[in-house]
Amino acid sequence: MRSGFILPTLAATVPSLGGIALAGTPLANLKRGVENTYILTPKDAVALDDFKSTLVSRLTNPSSAAIYDLSISNALVVKLNPADLALVRVSIDAEDIEYDEIISLSEPQEFLESQASAMPLGKRESCPEPSFVEGGGKGVTIYNIGTGVKTDHECFGGRAKWGRVFGDYNMMDDSGHGTHSAGIAIGNYYGVARGANVVAIKGKLTESSYYFGSMINALSGIDYACAEFKKQDFPPSIIYLPMNGGGSKAWNSTINNCAKMGMHFVVSAGNGDSDAKVYTPAQIPMVNTIGAINSTCYKAPYSNFGSIIDAHALGVDIASAGIGPGSNATKVASGTSLAASYVTGILAVVLEKYGKMSPGDLTAAMKANAYKGALDFPENTTTDVAKLW
């Protein structure tokens, strides 16, 4: 988490219908990737229910519909065919209309088995030594938003369950990413917070790749997690986001509004060996953005960097839960998403040990107690390595 507020520049475009330029609410100039899917935000004075009723009453095509209410950010997810999009832009009192976009998971960097140590946390040389707490994080909920979780894996001991699936997907982790990351955070044998709970929220997969998906599905997952958080009277909770895309007002408003309620966020910095400041949600000040190091505290070759990084954690050759065969499979992988999983587990232990904290206070405590020894990052990148305290 960083002070200040960063809002990406969203240039307006004016599409045309039948060659005629259309006036009305401008469209955010995001990278398009999900056809005919948009986020509509009403102006401040317009209630979301009234806005939705007006919108639905003016749709003319059966393929157009309101899909989800994003109550945390006071916005609607809608499907609009081109004619209805043109109509909505000139007839609905909207503050913003944003395209959906394809976002990328921080895809694990796979290594050959002979190259990986395949050692669980607490049994490998490190700086500082990765550690865990038996029963640590009890009463803390981690919302794992991504590919889903194999909840019957033995390492979870009944502490993992399904929340929601957004999009036309099954209630399974087909890629193994979510299961592996959840194991690092809470799993017996592999994980840090071995008393915490995980709720799986799936919305990442597309037909073409396990590691790309819809921004809107991810935002819907955050909205669901925040609604559950509120419904349960704000227990200590963390949202884990191993993904990044382009800038968006919807990302900013959803995360900021949820964090103001007391929700903590941990985000992977990304695996592009580039400055993380151009990626969202990594660049949002209210999140903890995590880079990856190896077991000797050197920068992982793929880890993103820059002034927005809050801390680093081990993200190379990490053994954790796999999706099969059987209920006790192990997988070894690397990536900033795995470093972020480790930090998620640390924060869960701390929340259980010290009690509720604001997102800002928890980030400050993480940094104050960090090992100041990450190596080979650019000068504008923190040297903080997150550790238990």
Q: Describe the strand order of the beta sheet including 75-79 as a list of residue ranges.
A: 12-13, 27-28, 94-99, 37-42, 75-79, 65-70
Token code pair at residue 275: 């400055």
Could you give the domains of the chain?
A: 12-100 (3.30.70.80), 104-385 (3.40.50.200)
Place of tokens 């924060």: 347
* 147, 181 contact by CB (below 8 A): no
pLDDT of 28 reads: 60
Q: Which residues pair with 102 in a beta bridge?
A: 214
How much is the pLDDT for 169?
80
- Measured at the alpha carbon of residue 89, what is the angle toward residues 84 and 93, in degrees to the nearest 5? 120
Answer yes or no: are the C-beta atoms of 6 and 280 closer than 8 Å: no
Helix, strand, or coil (residue 83): helix
DSSP element (H, E) containing 332: strand 330-333
From first to last of its 389 residues, the chain has per-residue pLDDT tens of 664 333 232 222 323 333 333 345 656 644 556 778 999 999 887 899 999 999 999 999 999 999 989 999 899 999 999 999 999 888 887 888 888 888 887 665 543 232 334 445 554 445 777 788 899 999 999 999 999 999 999 999 999 999 999 877 889 998 899 999 999 999 999 999 999 999 999 986 544 455 567 888 999 999 999 999 999 999 999 999 999 888 788 899 999 999 999 999 999 999 999 999 999 999 999 999 999 999 999 999 999 999 999 999 999 999 999 998 999 999 999 999 999 999 999 999 999 999 999 999 999 999 999 999 999 999 999 999 999 99
381's CB contacts (< 8 A; 6+ apart) are 291, 305, 306, 307, 309, 374
Give the model's pLDDT for residue 13. 30
β-pairing, 27-28 with 94-99?
Answer: parallel
The sign one gets for the Cα dihedral 44, 50, 54, 55 is positive
> Are the beta carbons of 35 and 3 closer than 8 angstroms?
no
3-state class percentages of the chain: helix first, strand second, coil last, to nearest 5: 25, 25, 50
User: HSE (CB half, 13 Å, CA atoms) of 39?
Assistant: 28
**pLDDT value at position 2?**
60
